[in-house]
Amino acid sequence: MQLNIPTSGLKEYVHRLALVHGVVYKKTAGDAFAEAVTRLADDNVFTDDVENIIVELKRSHVIDSKTMVQLLGSYFDELQHV
């Protein structure tokens, strides 16, 4: 899937993309397992709603793996003001 990913406003873009496609994040058993393993490893990794929605867009086949990585990378860059 070829999307024109913006360089700013990623949170709004992701929420709009999810809304258009009727995608809502649903925590899976795999998500719970990953959280438990992370906690047991004494890591503090917390995902926010945008990250979770991006993953759900991939699970729902709205975006492909490459687009998921691009969206996450752009979102993280925006969070870090890069």
- Per-residue pLDDT 10s for the chain (82 aa) are 578 889 899 999 999 999 999 999 999 999 889 888 988 998 877 889 999 999 999 999 999 999 999 999 999 999 998 6
pLDDT at 46: 81
Please, is 42 exposed, middle or buried when counting C-beta atoms within 10 Å of its C-beta (0-12, 13-18, 19+)? exposed
pLDDT of residue 1: 59
pTM, two decimal places: 0.85
Q: Given this model, what pLDDT does residue 45 score?
A: 78
Domain boundaries, the chain: 10-79
Instruction: Assess contact for 22 and 57: CB atoms under 8 A.
Output: no
Residue 81, pLDDT score: 85
